[in-house]
């Protein structure tokens, strides 16, 4: 094994004077200062809004742009009539590595559809956001495109989403008890989760 | 007699109103300026009734926090000295401003008022004395805290301040030689003349080396980055570890007051104080012969404005330096003081004296 000799560079007289180096440093910081200052001033006048003056995102008011395929909070998609698309095949519950999905299937009144979920619970306190449930679903019944990131609660119980919250991503705890028997059109928050992938992506990004 | 007292009170009130407010604002300037130059946004959340006003309420929130925090005096600490130390620091930093002239003389009737809180013939010496006395606050804080780290911090601070005071004092001898007075008001008046008819005879023109030595040494006096070894909030422990609440706030305030004082001194000694180029007491007299008369009050207000703008510029510059440079190591600090600034200042004095002797012999 050869020995690598590291030659430390001696400082030149110009660098040892230190003053020119200070001015160089000041130049860098001042350029940033005046550029950002000018941009902030322009922004307050409503100009040049497309150029950012700071890298900061003012989080609760302003969201980071998310990647197109970003995996956020789950939702259950619905049919034309507003009932869940899920047929209770248990594939997602089976594939889930964190075992956070609980499905209780019931017989669907429509003879063309075999089953429907009587209960569909996801415990977000356990979920690892791997997205296997979305991949495995044969019916495109579960998606992770709500763009909801601020999944937070004061207790573990509140982290558990039931079928109401999964079908209405705008809904937040506490959810009013639903007495209707499934399958029914469950969209107390106005729903609005229909359409194809691309369209729902567009509408979802402006969720409250 | 009564009137004199009243005038002095008004002058002091004006000066301290400006200085204390600027010091309070410095917490805001520090946050915002560092944020903007680092592509951030800075403090903007404190709001009153939904108004954030660019984060200007943060200094208020700070003050409320400082005053309502618990004041802790460590067990076994010297209670009297522990309480006295921050008061010393602030007191000496504040009284030093009395010697700073912030405007030309005003004539009301047959009374002539110098816009300077205390008209002292040796104002320069007075300010330096007050700056030096500020070291007591630091060493007492370290000593009275009954904490070895605080004591070491206090010793570091004392060694640094005393070392740089020497360079600071020698750096301005050149200015004193050229303007021939220790009276700051007279030094500023002396900067109202012109070289070759059009270059203002400001300190920076005749004493550029002294300016750099002065600013460096003076920044070391303020104990801020890159000379913040006495405090070293981030890693090494400083002399005010054992302070909390407003007592800590007073040390913090002292830092800002000293920064402003240094800005005032740099303006007064090197950038013409309240002078505006080509502005005489009766109006603008441009070198090409044009003349624009102004009234006495306009002249005085322009002077005060000029002084304020220069001071604000220096505050900005010092803040920019503070957020640009990394901290020195202690041996580098001492080497810079004793082997860099001290010889440079002495050489500057010698060269200035020689040149002045030759010039005066010739004339």
Q: Nearest Cβ partner of A56 from B33, B41, B323?
A: B41
Helix, strand, coil share of chain A (percent; to 5): 25, 10, 60
Inter-chain Cβ pairs, chain A and chain B, closer than 8 A: 42
**A33/B320 CB distance under 8 A:** yes
Q: How confident is the model at residue A171 (pLDDT cuts 50, 70, 90)?
A: low
The answer, for B37 touching chain A at a CB cutoff of 8 Å, is yes
Nearest-CB residue to B36 (from A26, A28, A37) = A37
**Nearest residue of B to residue A39 by CA position?**
B36
Burial of A21 (0-12, 13-18, 19+ CB in 10 A): middle
Instruction: Give the bridge partners for A75, in sequence order.
Output: A143
Cβ neighbours of residue B347 closer than 8 Å, sequence gap 6 or more: none
State the Cα angle at A202 between A197 and A203, rounded to 5°: 100
CA distances from B39 to A38, A121, B35, B45, B53 (A): 12, 44, 6, 18, 20
Rounded to whole angstroms, how far apart are CA atoms B230 and B157? 5
pLDDT over 60 at B290, yes or no: yes
CB contact under 8 A, A54 and B39: yes
If contacts are CB pairs under 8 Å, which of residues 153-212 in chain B contact chain A? 212
Mean pLDDT of the region B297-318: 93
Nearest CB partner across the interface for A22, out of B36, B39, B325: B325
Tell me whether residues B35 and A28 touch, CB distance under 8 A: no
Q: Which of A19, A29, A36 shows the shortest C-beta gap to B324?
A: A29
| Whole-number pLDDT of residue A205 | 40
Q: Quote the pLDDT of residue A177.
A: 53
Tell whether B324 is within 8 A of chain A (Cβ).
Answer: yes
B301 touches chain A (CB under 8 A): no
State the pLDDT confidence band at A48, using cuts at 50, 70 and 90: confident
**pLDDT the model gives residue A203:** 43
Asked whether B23 and B93 are in contact (CB, 8 A), the reply is no
Instruction: Taking residues B152-173, report their average pLDDT.
Output: 91
Which three-class secondary structure state does DSSP give residue B217?
A: helix
In chain B, residues with a C-beta closer than 8 Å to the C-beta of A58 are 41
Mean residue pLDDT of chain A comes to 80
Minimal Cα distance from A34: which residue of B? Answer: B37
A198 versus B213: the higher-pLDDT residue is B213
pLDDT digits (tens, 9 = 90+) for B90-134: 999 999 999 999 988 888 888 888 888 988 889 999 999 998 898
The dihedral formed by the CA atoms of B33, B39, B44 and B45, expressed in degrees to the nearest 10: -140
pLDDT at residue A180 is higher than 80: no
- Of the candidates A25, A28, A54, the beta carbon closest to that of B41 is on A54
* Cβ neighbours of B323 in A, within 8 Å: 29
pLDDT > 90 in chain B, percent: 60
Q: Which residues of A touch B40 (CB under 8 A)?
A: 54-56
Question: What's the mean per-residue pLDDT of chain B?
Answer: 90
Strand ranges in chain B using DSSP code E only, listed in sequence order: 101-108, 111-116, 194-195, 199-200, 279-280, 283-285, 291-293
H/E stretch holding A160 reads: strand A160-161
Contacts of B212 in chain A (CB under 8 A): 19
Nearest chain B residue to A35, by CA: B37
pLDDT at residue A172, as a whole number: 63
Chain B positions in Cβ-Cβ contact with residue A26 (cut-off 8 Å): 320-321, 324
pLDDT at res. A40: 92
Q: Chain B contacts of A37, Cβ < 8 Å?
A: 36
**Which residue in chain A is spatially nearest to B318 when comparing CA positions?**
A26
Residue B339 sits at the chain A interface (C-beta within 8 Å): no
**B320 vs A32: CB contact, 8 Å cut-off?**
no
> Which one of B39, B212, B320 has the shortest CB-CB distance to A36?
B39
pTM, two decimals, is 0.84
Neighbours of A5 (CB within 10 A): 5
User: Chain A contact for B87, CB < 8 A?
Assistant: no
Percent of chain A whose pLDDT exceeds 70: 81
Rg of chain B over Cα atoms, rounded to whole angstroms, equals 22
State whether residue B321 sits within 8 Å of chain A by CB. Answer: yes
Determine contact, residues B156/B229, Cβ cutoff 8 Å.
yes
pLDDT of residue A189: 38
Phi/psi for B347 (5° steps) reads: -60, -40
Average pLDDT over residues B179-186: 91
Is B196 in contact with B298 (CB distance < 8 Å)? no
Instruction: Quickly state the pLDDT bin for B82 (edges 50, 70, 90).
Output: very high
Of B36, B212, B320, the CB nearest to A26: B320
Is the CA virtual torsion B248, B249, B250, B253 positive or negative? positive
* Three-class secondary structure of residue B236 per DSSP: coil
Residue A93 pLDDT > 90: yes
Q: Which two tokens stand for residue B234?
A: 């981030």
Which B-chain residues 209-268 have CB contacts (< 8 A) with chain A?
A: 212
| Out of B33, B41, B325, closest to residue A25 by CB | B325
């Amino acid at each position: 094994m050869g020995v690598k000799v590291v030659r430390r560079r001696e400082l030149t007289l110009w660098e040892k004077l230190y003053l020119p180096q200070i001015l160089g440093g000041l130049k860098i910081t001042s350029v940033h200062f005046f550029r950002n200052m000018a941009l902030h001033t322009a922004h307050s006048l409503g100009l040049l809004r497309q150029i950012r003056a700071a890298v900061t995102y003012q989080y609760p008011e302003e969201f980071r742009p998310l990647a197109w395929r970003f995996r956020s909070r789950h939702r259950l998609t619905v049919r034309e009539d507003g009932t869940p698309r899920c047929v209770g095949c248990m594939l997602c519950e089976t594939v889930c590595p964190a075992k956070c999905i609980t499905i209780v299937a019931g017989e669907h009144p429509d003879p063309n559809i075999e089953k429907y979920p009587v209960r569909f619970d996801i415990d977000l306190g356990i979920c690892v956001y791997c997205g296997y449930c979305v991949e495995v679903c044969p019916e495109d019944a579960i998606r992770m495109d709500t763009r909801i990131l601020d999944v937070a609660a004061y207790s573990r119980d509140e982290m558990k989403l039931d079928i109401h919250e999964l079908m209405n991503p705008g809904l937040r705890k506490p959810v009013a008890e639903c007495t209707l028997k499934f399958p029914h059109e469950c969209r107390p928050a106005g729903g609005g989760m229909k359409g194809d992938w691309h369209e729902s992506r567009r509408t979802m990004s402006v969720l409250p | 007699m009564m009137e004199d007292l009243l005038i002095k009170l008004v002058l002091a009130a004006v000066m301290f109103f400006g200085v204390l407010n600027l010091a309070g604002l410095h917490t805001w300037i520090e946050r915002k300026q560092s944020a903007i130059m680092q592509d951030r946004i800075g403090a903007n959340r404190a709001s009153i009734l939904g108004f954030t006003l660019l984060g200007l309420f943060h200094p208020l929130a700070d003050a409320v926090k400082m005053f309502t925090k618990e004041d802790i005096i460590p067990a076994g600490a010297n209670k009297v000295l522990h309480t006295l130390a921050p008061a010393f620091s602030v007191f000496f930093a504040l009284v030093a401003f009395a010697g700073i002239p912030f405007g030309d003389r005003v004539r009301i009737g047959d009374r002539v008022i110098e816009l300077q809180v205390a008209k002292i013939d040796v104002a320069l010496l007075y300010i330096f004395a007050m700056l030096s006395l500020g070291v007591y606050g630091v060493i007492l804080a370290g000593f009275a805290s009954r904490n070895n780290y605080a004591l070491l911090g206090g010793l570091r601070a004392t060694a640094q301040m005393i070392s740089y005071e020497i360079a600071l004092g020698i750096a301005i001898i050149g200015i004193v030689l050229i303007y021939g007075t220790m009276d700051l008001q007279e030094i500023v008046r002396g900067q109202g003349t012109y070289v070759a008819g059009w270059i203002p005879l400001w300190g920076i023109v005749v004493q550029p080396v002294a300016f750099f030595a002065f600013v460096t040494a003076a920044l070391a006096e303020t104990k801020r980055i890159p000379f913040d070894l006495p405090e070293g909030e981030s890693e090494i422990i400083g002399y005010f570890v054992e302070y909390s609440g407003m007592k800590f706030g007073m040390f913090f305030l002292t830092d800002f007051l000293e920064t402003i004082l240094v800005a005032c001194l740099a303006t007064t000694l090197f950038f013409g104080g309240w002078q505006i180029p080509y502005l005489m007491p009766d109006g603008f007299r441009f070198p090409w012969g044009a003349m624009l008369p102004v009234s006495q009050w306009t002249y005085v207000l322009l002077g005060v404005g000029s002084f304020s703008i220069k001071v604000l510029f220096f505050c900005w510059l010092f803040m920019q330096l503070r957020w640009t440079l990394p901290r020195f190591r202690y041996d580098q600090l001492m080497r810079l003081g004793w082997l860099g600034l001290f010889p440079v200042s002495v050489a500057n004095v010698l060269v200035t004296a020689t040149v002045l002797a030759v010039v005066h012999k010739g004339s």
